[in-house]
Amino acid sequence: MPTQSIDLASKLTQFNEYWAPRTVTQFNGHDVMVAKMQGEYSWHSHPDTDDFFLVLHGRIYIDLPDGVTVQLDPGQLYVVPKGVEHRPRAPEEAHILLMEVSGTPNSGDPATAAPRREI
């Protein structure tokens, strides 16, 4: 049984790459991850799972179909329903917390997904 808390800010100092989530722990078959974002990610969807975003630092936007955009500031979260195409983006560096079923490709496609990395 772990006896120490997980310091997300410390975990985020351990890497510099954007769009490359790092798993910090697992929870009921889900990876709890932190990631750094800047610029635009590709349009994609997850056919079998929802996509959870919680902003820790900065501001992100999640573009959805039909020109809808969700703006998220620190402390705000949004869940993209499974199967819905979306594009996350951040004009300036932002830090997020993600939760996904373990093994879910971040791009929606195993062939283009970032590898699973633990820190």
The 10s digit of each residue's pLDDT in 9-19 is 999 999 999 99
- Tell me, yes or no, whether 21 lies in a domain: yes
- Tell me, yes or no, whether 114 lies in a domain: no
Gap between the Cα atoms of 110 and 97, Å rounded: 21
61-80 pLDDT per residue, tens? 999 999 999 999 999 999 99
Question: Helix, strand, or coil here: 57?
Answer: strand
Domain that holds residue 68: 8-101
76-100 pLDDT per residue, tens? 999 999 999 999 999 999 999 999 8
- CA end-to-end span of the chain, whole Å? 18
Neighbours of 104 (CB within 10 A): 20
- Tell me, yes or no, whether 60 lies in a domain: yes
Average pLDDT in the chain: 90
Q: What is the CATH number of the domain that holds 53?
A: 2.60.120.10
